[in-house]
Structure 1
């Protein structure tokens, strides 16, 4: 693609995705209206447009990230992606019959995809290219401590509480845990951006040339980023709903797990690509900031938002994981703590994560 064509695409695709999403909504084919075959077809078309837009949005997000610098830059995409996931989950929770486990499956999938899939690919490819890659152990330890606390409180603890049925919180418990989750994540962001910023910034062994962008171009990038993200939100909702309809039509028993994994994979794609790109540039700490930051933000912000929607609408919410998923989650967190216990990673370190990721994917379809 020539520079001119790429420039045109970067300006047109976010607006085109938003326009298509609004057109689908206005046509009466959105989510749960219209015939099944037409909805599946629209879902396939939406997928194609959405994938192209994701790459364009990524470029605009990275332009903003270069402008604000690290570690603030990684937060731009993290907050944007978390907003996407919250919007999709809440909208799918509120349409049709109550689906109390959708939020749990989506959040669990996000943690597994980031901590095993994205991290594993980054470590494997980076280790293969550079043999060894350096990380800032203090920063990764902070990520892990926050992630472990949030996952245990929100995805494992509900199975063992006694106020309500296993896997669920009472209204008081749900509100209490939600407030604590937001407080912990806000404390983490404060430490990452203000108090202990140096723990999350890797010293550069080389100084790559950087381009300074004008305030006008940054404003345009921010505007196109917002437009593209809104379009992706609406299109991803359409895609996920189409897949959910198709799975229900074919009577697939693991529909919730598949839809949850699909939502997580769709919204994480910009961050995953950004993390892999950084690993290829030997910027592993930035890769981990993107990947692990997404996992922390997903639990710290998505769970409270979904909990608020559940409390306001009276729809049930099941957060506790079944035994097999809980074992996989604990295994993923344990491997992360071992992998990042030193200041260097290798190809073998990444392969361990990738193997656990393949296990997670296999058990979705063969539980």
Structure 2
């Protein structure tokens, strides 16, 4: 057993470092197909390592801090990728932030949430979670989406689906305020609302999960957790950096297939959110769906609450318009997602059917992104 843990520890330490070395070595020249294949393999390995180190850190700090750390870490790197691609110019620069953030919302609220409920309920028949905590997270996501992505389509001060300078500044401040208020609620004022719950045979929550009696291993040492935190950051940097190197090939593939440019944002969002998706599924399989929902909704929230303020500041140096307002089809999908998610969350327990419904909505979003 010790040898297995030691071997796993060694490869999860080595692979992020090798991925960063590959990223640095191929940054200037990565057009050859063998190099692109190697980059793709390193990207997958970095995703797996990110999940492992995130779980080590989460086990050390406990919930809900663990899911918050992964959500914020991924989103900070995602923001860097968005800004990097916007400054590089190109066909979809003006709508890249909107398309990527909206894709992140659809992937987290429908994809991560849906697959977590499906996996958890398929294994445990019914899954339970705290409706009060999850509901407050969902309401914050809805408010952020409305302020940052819906209202720009209806305001009159800016051109088209853009905010004016003062409106963008207000949206940035409001986003940060909402996100900060939620983090305070989640980690200080009402932390118990976001902890995994135990349940009876009918899936009704009966209290907080007994962390000391669930058969889990002892928390890692502070040294091991600190190393995993550093390697988590390294893995996430590798994920986003390698995704950036693959993005021209993704763009060429999207164009050759005749898909809209928005599909590029969807693909990048899928790659960046892969660590959270895998971590959420693993927690759902362990009957810790509350942690999965923390990851899903926390990632959606961070994707808006941190991205929009950063983009607002970046627009000081980035030339060109910033289109944030959603198209009519996107607004309809968002409205349906909000309605379904509300019905899912309000009961505090879910069957596999609810997860399947969310996954169908994700599939609808993906299909309409390719065939609008």
What interval of TM-score do these two structures reach, taking the shorter chain for normalisation? over 0.9
Pick from 54, 67, 74: which aligns with 1:61?
Answer: 54
CA contact (8 A) 1:275 1:287 kept: yes
Pick from 125, 136, 139: which aligns with 2:130?
Answer: 136
Q: Please state whether the residue corresponding to 1:101 is helix, strand or coil.
A: helix
Mapped partners of 2:33, 2:264: distance in 1: 14
Mapped partners of 1:311, 1:169: distance in 2: 14
Mapped partners of 2:250, 2:293: distance in 1: 31
Deviation of residue 253 (structure 1)? 4.3
Instruction: Report the counterpart of residue 203 of structure 2 in structure 1.
Output: none
Q: Please state whether the residue corresponding to 2:320 is helix, strand or coil.
A: coil
CA contact (8 A) 1:40 1:246 kept: no
TM-score (norm 1): 0.93
Deviation of residue 251 (structure 1)? 6.9
For these two proteins, the number of residue pairs brought into alignment is 356
CA contact (8 A) 2:259 2:370 kept: no
Mapped partners of 1:57, 1:139: distance in 2: 26
Root-mean-square deviation (Å): 1.7
Mapped partners of 1:319, 1:64: distance in 2: 35
Unpaired segments ≥5 residues, structure 2? 197-207
Instruction: Report the counterpart of residue 221 of structure 1 in structure 2.
Output: 228
CA contact (8 A) 1:159 1:320 kept: yes
Unpaired segments ≥5 residues, structure 1? 31-37
Mapped partners of 2:18, 2:346: distance in 1: 45
Q: Please state whether the residue corresponding to 1:313 is helix, strand or coil.
A: coil
Mapped partners of 1:158, 1:181: distance in 2: 14
Deviation of residue 40 (structure 1)? 5.8
Identify if the C-alpha distance between structure 1 residues 5 and 214 changes in structure 2 by more than 3 Å, giving closer, same or farther: closer
Q: State yes or no: 1:76 paired with 2:44.
A: no
After superposition, where does 1:1-367 map in structure 2 within 5 Å? 3-25=5-27, 28-29=28-29, 38=31, 42-97=35-90, 99-202=93-196, 203-204=208-209, 207-248=214-255, 250=256, 252-255=258-261, 257-367=262-372
Identify if the C-alpha distance between structure 1 residues 251 and 271 changes in structure 2 by more than 3 Å, giving closer, same or farther: closer
Identify if the C-alpha distance between structure 1 residues 339 and 212 changes in structure 2 by more than 3 Å, giving closer, same or farther: closer
